[in-house]
A and B are shown apart, each in its own frame.
Chain A
Amino acid sequence: MRKAILAASAALLLAASPAMAQQKTIKIGFISTFSGPVAVIGEDMRNSFELALDHMGRKMGGLPVEVIYEDDGFKPEVGKQKTEKLIESDKVDFISGYIWSNVLLASLKPVVDSKTFLVIANAGPSQIAGELCSPTVFSTSWQNDQTPQAVGLYMNQKGVKSVFLIGPNYAAGKDMLAGVAATFKGKVIGQELTTWPAQLDFSAELAKAKAANPDAIFVFYPGRAGVQVLTQYAQAGLKDKIPLYTAFTIDELSLPLQKELALGVPGAQEWVNDLPNEANKKFVADYIKKYPGKKPSFYGAQSYDAANLIASAVAATKGNMSDKVAVQKALEKANFKSVRGNFRFGNNHVPIQNFYLQDVVKKGDDYVLKTVATIVKDDQDRFHDKCPMK
């Protein structure tokens, strides 16, 4: 980070001299959901990306940065269309963002075909980590299965013998349920997929889970559905009867609505707001300062990292975007201070990283997430063998 600021201030001085007046702008396209019920996720990502730009003086490697935010409307085909617009019309150097696996999979072809560098800030479908991996595609998040795999490991530690899985019927939902089943040593006694994103009433599925009488229930419901599933879980009278385990269901965005319903419901995550490193402290503190009343979530943390990863590559190549191999090499080094501490890429450009157990605690009138334990250290996704890049 300091390096980036130094570079930025040096560039400011240079820019003042007339010889450097004509300089290139680094263009970044950012695709996320900025409308509809899940817009709150997109806003958190944009806020964090903007904060990262503020922190680097809105310059990368001395060059001014222009970010174009596009709304995918939560729809794969719209996301694809916006991706094409960024590539063809805006001619961006980098594309980042993408919350949803299905939107990403639909948009992948034009990005890879045009050899535009892609830094995924959230979605992690198994294909991207495996057979569809690409030299120009990077991720600052995870592969979908990793987080639920960590939950599966944690359930083993807790001596859970049987589990009932519930998740939405889309690319990530299926990955998540498969992830739990991959590491969980007990028996999966039932599995239900629900229509996504239309179905919000889970009473039929919860009643089935209740009737199956498992040791635990696992759910994956990102965004607003996470509030609904916890509410209905309590209303079905399950809260004190069958323990609930989650992935991506409780975060800083949903917590203000979930409140006490989330108390004591564990989840796994690669980033928690209280991780003890300098970059993270600065990120969390400045985010709260810049956006009063809001708290950053893991979506934001990954976007903040994405901005810094891009900046590190621009700085290393001195803004020469035409040498694609050099940019790729620079990105692979991941030479930046991540908010989750250590950060390095595997062969498939997906991070190798720790996963933490997070829990919800009450702090005054507020509910906050805190790290309880490290479930797994330096975890690499289980699809990297399928990626032809070595």
Chain B
Amino acid sequence: MSGWLSVRAIAIVALLLALVLLPVHVELGGSRFLLTLFTRIIILALAAVSLNLILGYGGMMSFGHAAYLGIGGYAVGILAHEGVFTGFIQWPVALAASALFALVIGALSLRTRGVYFIMITLAFAQMAYYVVAGLARYGGDDGLTIYKRSQFIAPIDLSNKVQFYYICLALLFGSMYLVRRIVNSRFGLAIQGARSNDTRMRAIGFPTYRYKLVCFVIAGTLCGLSGALIANHTDFVSPAMMYWTRSGDLIIMVVLGGMGSTFGPLVGAVALLVLEEVLSSITEYWQIILGPLLLLVVLFARGGIDGLLGKVRHG
């Protein structure tokens, strides 16, 4: 643990405060678009947090994490399309569907390792992408507009932007806490042990395959939650949200922010999406700046932004 007055601690506290106070700023006359933008950032940060659990702590390089975004989103979209609007059904279905998908592909993929694991998770995500793109009833390639957001009991109203923002923020903080608890538990330590030396962990008597699978399912389920949120945020789901480049975006957030750190994925999501927004407003050719910037982060800032800030990483 770094000291409470380190640059890193100050930066993170400032970021969290800014996120909590953002709606106040908007109510006081700030641009409403900021609220929309940051709701999206927070939801994607939640997805990045879930990816960080397997990527940063578990060493499982999933290149198909966007599949759960799509599955969670389509669970909400398809149910809404069929006239089921209550979130008490939509959300559990979204979580269960993601968990089930994670269980199946995890069970098969975890037999491989290294680059093969990257590619097999990619393959499963692409398959999910094409299945959804083939659903003529639900818009196929064009996607599906959601005309009513998930309904909960009063006073919860997801159409209220400020309320929705705080719900997303609360779920994000909750997930970060959950991931932290998992990582510091005996289970989490075993997972991290398996990352550095799988054979030894097995020799000590940990069933690492089963542990990793459970971890994989938890991450998938959390990401499914993020998918349900993003469907409610955009009122629209399309296969594009599970295309391989989206999985790439999530990886970038995690690595950019700092792998294996509690706040890293959040920092990465904010940094990447704000950077995109700012650069694209400066020049139409913004990718020519972002591209080399990513390369530079990889080359010179191991541990991502979080690492840069503190030079101290949480295990």
Contact residue range for chain A?
Answer: 20 to 34
From B31, B143, B145, B238, give the contact of A89 (CB < 8 A): B31
A170 touches B141 (CB 8 A): yes
Question: Apart from A106-B143, A170-B140, what are 20 other A-B pairs with CB-CB below 8 Å?
Answer: A35-B284, A76-B236, A77-B236, A77-B238, A77-B241, A81-B36, A88-B31, A88-B32, A89-B31, A101-B142, A102-B142, A102-B143, A106-B238, A108-B145, A109-B147, A169-B140, A170-B141, A171-B142, A195-B133, A196-B141
For residue B280, which residues in chain A have a CB less than 8 angstroms away from its CB? 71
Against A, the Cβ 8 Å flags (1 = close, 0 = not) of B240-253 are: 11000000000000
B142 touches A105 (CB 8 A): yes
Q: Does B198 contact A (CB under 8 A)?
A: no
SS class, residues of chain A in contact with chain B: helix
For residue A282, which residues in chain B have a CB less than 8 angstroms away from its CB? none
Interface residues of A in 77-126 (CB under 8 A from B): 77, 80-81, 84-85, 88-89, 101-102, 105-106, 108-110
Interface residues of A in 189-244 (CB under 8 A from B): 195-196
Question: Chain A: which residue is nearest B143 at the CB level?
Answer: A76
Question: Chain A: which residue is nearest B32 at the CB level?
Answer: A88
Against B, the Cβ 8 Å flags (1 = close, 0 = not) of A323-353 are: 0000000000000000000000000000000
For residue A76, which residues in chain B have a CB less than 8 angstroms away from its CB? 142-143, 236, 238, 240
Q: Does B234 contact A (CB under 8 A)?
A: yes
Minimum C-beta distance from A221 to chain B (A): 15
Question: Chain B: which residue is nearest A173 at the CB level?
Answer: B141
Q: Report the bound CA distance from A89 to B161 in whole Å.
A: 14
Q: Report the bound CA distance from A105 to B235 in whole Å.
A: 12
For residue B33, which residues in chain A have a CB less than 8 angstroms away from its CB? 84-85, 88-89
Question: Chain B: which residue is nearest A35 at the CB level?
Answer: B284
Task: Name 11 A/B residue pairs within 8 A (Cβ), A-sorted.
Answer: A34-B284, A71-B280, A75-B240, A77-B236, A84-B36, A85-B33, A89-B31, A106-B238, A110-B235, A169-B141, A195-B133
Against A, the Cβ 8 Å flags (1 = close, 0 = not) of B15-47 are: 000000000000000011110100010000000
Q: Report the bound CA distance from A71 to B31 in whole Å.
A: 20
Against B, the Cβ 8 Å flags (1 = close, 0 = not) of A126-169 are: 00000000000000000000000000000000000000000001
For residue B32, which residues in chain A have a CB less than 8 angstroms away from its CB? 88-89
Minimum C-beta distance from B40 to chain A (A): 8
For residue A89, which residues in chain B have a CB less than 8 angstroms away from its CB? 31-34
Instruction: Please tell me the number of chain B residues within 8 Å of chain A, measured between CB atoms.
Output: 21
Interface residues of B in 130-151 (CB under 8 A from A): 133, 140-143, 145, 147
From A34, A80, A85, give the contact of B236 (CB < 8 A): A80
SS class, residues of chain B in contact with chain A: helix
Q: Report the bound CA distance from A170 to B140 in whole Å.
A: 8
Question: Chain A: which residue is nearest B142 at the CB level?
Answer: A102
For residue B235, which residues in chain A have a CB less than 8 angstroms away from its CB? 80, 109-110
Q: Report the bound CA distance from A34 to B280 in whole Å.
A: 12
Q: Report the bound CA distance from A76 to B236 in whole Å.
A: 9
For residue A170, which residues in chain B have a CB less than 8 angstroms away from its CB? 140-142
A80 touches B36 (CB 8 A): no
For residue A108, which residues in chain B have a CB less than 8 angstroms away from its CB? 145
For residue A71, which residues in chain B have a CB less than 8 angstroms away from its CB? 280, 284
Q: Report the bound CA distance from A101 to B140 in whole Å.
A: 13
For residue B241, which residues in chain A have a CB less than 8 angstroms away from its CB? 77
| Interface-centre pick from A75, A77, A196 (highest chain B CB count, 10 A) | A77
Minimum C-beta distance from A283 to chain B (A): 25
Q: Report the bound CA distance from A52 to B301 in whole Å.
A: 49
Q: Report the bound CA distance from A171 to B142 in whole Å.
A: 6
